[in-house]
Amino acid sequence: MKTDLSKYDNHWYHTGASIVKRTLWYYVNLLFVRNPYLPINALKVAMLRLFGAEIGKKVIIKPFVNIKYPWRLKVGDYTWIGESVWIDSLADVEIGKNCCLSQGAMLLCGNHNYQKAAFDLMLGEIHLGDGVWIGTKSIVGPNVNCKNHSVLTVNSVASEDLEAYGIYRGNPAIKIKIRKIGKM
């Protein structure tokens, strides 16, 4: 059997919002969240909240951030979301307190079943515990839980859960050591 994308069908998938809300979000996202010429963080946070995102206090959202569906997003206090981060929230995404998503990081809730001729859509939630750091240009895939204070280093891919305080590197990411956080 061969891949046949003419048979692709994701009619079962529901975004959790009407076509009107999705269309409005598309333009609000372009004008306020992704826009590099509008660096006003409070306005970005307000727009995300308006569209249903749960955003904690003092969250920083840098330019060029792209969020698929904010009504599927929850972000804890004091979290930083860096330039060009892509949160593909086809399913629920929960980001804990004091997290850092570095430049170009991707949280991808969707994938495709390469074993099916129609390339069926597969979804999974993503959960980042408190104090998690996702390094520059790293990817967290569907159904992945990055437990408290875990680290995914630069250009790494997490396709399985990361243990608390574990530092992970590579594709697929493997644990290379334990994170030790000193006192201030």
- pLDDT at position 182 is 85
How far is it, in rounded angstroms, from Cα 43 to Cα 29? Answer: 11
Specify which residues 123 forms β-bridges with: 110
Q: Is the dihedral of CA 98, 147, 133, 181 positive or negative?
A: positive
Q: Is the dihedral of CA 105, 24, 72, 80 positive or negative?
A: positive
- pLDDT at position 120 is 93
How far is it, in rounded angstroms, from Cα 35 to Cα 23? Answer: 17
Q: Smallest Cα–Cα separation from 128: which of 86, 95, 82, 173?
A: 95
How far is it, in rounded angstroms, from Cα 149 to Cα 15? Answer: 30
Percent helix, strand, coil in the chain, to 5, is 15, 30, 55
Parallel, antiparallel, or unpaired: how do β-strands 121-123 and 110-112 relate? Answer: antiparallel
Specify which residues 88 forms β-bridges with: 108
Q: In this structure, are residues 41 and 55 in contact, taking their beta carbons and an 8 Å threshold?
A: no
Q: Smallest Cα–Cα separation from 75: which of 4, 134, 158?
A: 134
pTM for this model (two decimals)? 0.95
- Quick one: which H or E segment has residue 61? strand 60-61
3-class DSSP assignment, residue 130: coil
Q: In this structure, are residues 121 and 112 in contact, taking their beta carbons and an 8 Å threshold?
A: yes
CATH class of 17-176: mainly beta
How far is it, in rounded angstroms, from Cα 152 to Cα 171? Answer: 11
Task: Take residue 171 and report the two structure tokens written for it.
Answer: 């594709």
User: Domain residues of the chain, as ranges?
Assistant: 17-176
pLDDT per residue of the chain (184 residues) written in tens, 0 to 9:
899 999 999 889 999 999 999 999 999 999 999 999 988 999 999 999 999 999 999 999 999 999 999 999 999 999 999 999 999 999 999 999 999 999 999 999 999 999 999 999 999 999 999 999 999 999 999 999 999 999 999 999 999 999 999 999 999 999 999 999 988 7
